[in-house]
Amino acid sequence: MVVLAKGELEQIALPAVQKAAPPLADVPEVDLAAAASRGAEGRAAAARAVAAACQEHGFFKVTGHGVPLDLLARVENAAAAFFALQQRDKESAMSAVAPGSPFGYASKRIGSNGDLGWVEYLLLGVTAAGASTGDHSADEPLLPAPADEEAVPSAWRRCSFRDLLNEYTVAVRRMTCEVLELMAEGLGMEETDVFARLVLEDDSDSMLRVNHYPPRPELKHLQQLHGGGGGGGGGRVTGFGEHTDPQIISVLRSNATSGLEIALRDGTWVSVPPDQGSFFVNVGDALQVLTNGRFRSVRHRVMVNSVRSRVSVIFFGGPPPRETLAPLPQLVGEGGRSRYREFTWREYKSSAYRTKLADNRLCHFETT
Ligand code: GA4
């Protein structure tokens, strides 16, 4: 349960004039299994489709992804079980994971600069111990182990959520890298691992986020706030405010509850029909930079306009902190203009973490 303190709903509820976003009619889609089974031609066509979607929307859907559906269901059930724990148990379970770090459990507060949303979540770091050895068992990303096993409530231990999230992360990271390879191919890059290798490095800065959006708060609160306009089923409450993701790529899977919206090039918001058997891919800021703006870091948000809970799990693929990011020379072209100056991921991330959610973070790195 998300508990409201005085004044918080005012910041989360949108003015009643905000109309529901119409659904995105043709969500671009790539079927990885079909692409693999149709030989070089099929793969080239899929790569072109992926690149076109990244240019137009910075967003597309992945089917035929090879991540077992029962793993998706088990993660969803375990997440629901975790969020159903007592508030104090959720807090203590995760404060034992990484005291004093941005990781852990939080409710309503997003980042540390005053953003609020109708959401509670877990944010976890992913490390890829030994990823470069090629040895499968050493290739597993590890979520941080609890510092103090005793401090973890038994309900958390029983569902071994951490092990399940590890299994999920291994599978999703593998699929993410396939998608990154297709992106590189679609751009005509000779080195098709140019993006994937960044997410596979031992010290890649990847993360996993598990979000729970409880059903919309009591309509009577919204009616009081907006003079009755929040009633009649039309009240709009922000689960996660509009933003772009700083990383290279984000790969999201949700249950069958709606809520995700993306902004089109002209700024219009459209809703994305949920599809619990598929993944949705967002281009992040770092990929917009690497592609010199060819791929678009998509602005997105989650609205809580349903009577059902929404649970989503997002893998954020980021580069190692030391990695220097700049537009790839092949995409700038001879005599072409580099739209962004060179910077390290460490530099970008610390700048991004000082911003508010809705801010444009890339403008500080543009060349004049
Ligand atoms: C957006 C993408 C990821 O969820 C995230 C978010 C992070 C946070 O929740 O702590 C940020 C946000 C995200 C971008 C700007 C800063 C940092 C909240 C915020 C206001 C984990 C990330 O890496 O950047």
Q: Which of 166-170, 183-187, 214-218, 349-353 has the least mean pLDDT? A: 214-218
b/e for 179-206, b at 16 or more Cβ within 10 A? bbbbbbbbbebeebebbbbbbbbeebbb
18-46 pLDDT per residue, tens: 778 999 999 999 999 999 999 999 999 99
Atom of ligand 1 minimally distant from the CA of 247: 23
For the chain, give the percent of residues with pLDDT over 90: 68
Our answer on whether the CB atom of 125 is closer than 6 Å to any ligand 1 atom is: no
Q: What pLDDT does residue 248 have?
A: 98
Residue to probe by mutation, ligand 1, list 353, 359, 364, most atoms within 8 Å of CB:
353
Residue nearest to atom 20 of ligand 1 (CA): 357
Q: Look at the alpha carbons of 184, 188, 189, 191 in this order and tell me if their dihedral is positive or negative.
A: positive
Q: What pLDDT does residue 202 have?
A: 86
266-301 pLDDT per residue, tens: 999 999 999 999 999 999 999 999 999 999 999 999
Q: Is the pLDDT of residue 140 over 60?
A: no
pLDDT, greater one: 238 or 160:
238
203-262 pLDDT per residue, tens: 999 999 999 999 987 756 655 555 544 444 456 889 999 999 999 999 999 999 999 999
Our answer on whether the CB atom of 32 is closer than 6 Å to any ligand 1 atom is: no
Our answer on whether the CB atom of 351 is closer than 6 Å to any ligand 1 atom is: no
Q: What pLDDT does residue 40 have?
A: 94
Residue nearest to atom 2 of ligand 1 (CA): 245
Q: pTM of the entire structure? A: 0.90
First and final CA of the chain: distance in angstroms?
A: 47
Our answer on whether the CB atom of 15 is closer than 6 Å to any ligand 1 atom is: no
Residue nearest to atom 12 of ligand 1 (CA): 357
